[in-house]
Structure 1
């Protein structure tokens, strides 16, 4: 026993520390890894808003990721007289729409052909009566009719959907 005490005393004199529990070391390494992973994920989430400069020949976003994305293209408001079939007086429709297009090229086409589009849309809207658009089903039929007419006017299938942003009948 005296020999063991001498060995412990000699170890203390040499500055050697007693053995630490490996549990503390594992916990410290685990905490560092968790904090590092959390920091990396946070950095990834908050750095998405910043655009990195890319070389001219390299796309910033792969095209396969943008396939499901769409671009909204607002149109100016339309105010038209509704066709009066009932003889009860004049009714007006004020409607504002946005078109969902598949790509930036589609948006450019809509912008370039805006006069043709407005003309085609005005003809569709002015041929309507109040009875045709006063129900939800009538509005859905109007959306389908407008989408068909827009696709026919543009000569390309760039518009996916028509959204009514404002719809007022007086």
Structure 2
């Protein structure tokens, strides 16, 4: 009788190890899937923008300087902010005039984008490059076409 009790304890111990191994494999597989789906694609998102930039003829391009932005970041305590000054490269003089004429819409779009970011969202170099791409996309939406070629950060302070 003593042997039967110890044998059932050995089987239940083995079953616990098998279950833990299966859970560990499932978590590892889920982590790998999340990495390849969300994080790996975010690094590749910067590449299409660079390819598109090479296709645009920049011989007539102009640079428009936007006024500085001072925006609170989306942090729980509300104590972090970003100060950002941008130079926007546009395809031609007409695009520059359109961008300047849409000044209120441009400031609104940039402020809304920056205020939706947290310090963690902007801390790494990769995230700053993604922010540049997001700004180009937003500004192109305002102008109505792909006239914004690049965005240059001339001043960037995150505190």
One of 78, 87, 94 as aligned partner of 1:105: 94
What are the Cα deviations for residues 18-37 of structure 1, in whole angstroms up to 9, with x where unaligned?
xxxxxxxxxxxxxxxxxxxx
TM-score (norm 1): 0.58
Runs of 4+ in 1 over 3 A off after TM superposition: none
> Do the aligned partners of 2:84 and 2:155 also contact (CA within 8 Å) in 1?
yes
Superposed displacement of residue 68, structure 1: 2.1
Higher fraction of helix: 2
Aligned length, in residue pairs: 103
Does 2:158 align with 1:165? no
Runs (5+) with no aligned partner, structure 1: 1-65
Task: State the TM-score, normalized to the length of structure 2.
Answer: 0.61
Aligned to 1:68: 59
Equivalent pair of 2:95/2:143 in contact (CA under 8 Å): no
Of residues 56, 70, 80, the one that matches 2:71 is 80
Name the SS of the counterpart of 1:145 in structure 2: helix
- Select the residue among 109, 119, 122 that pairs with 2:111: 122
Larger radius of gyration: 1
Superposition RMSD on alpha carbons, in Å? 1.5
- Residue 131, structure 1, aligned to residue 130, structure 2: no
5+ unaligned residues in a row in structure 2: which ranges?
Answer: 1-56
1: CA distance between counterparts of 2:146 and 2:121? 27
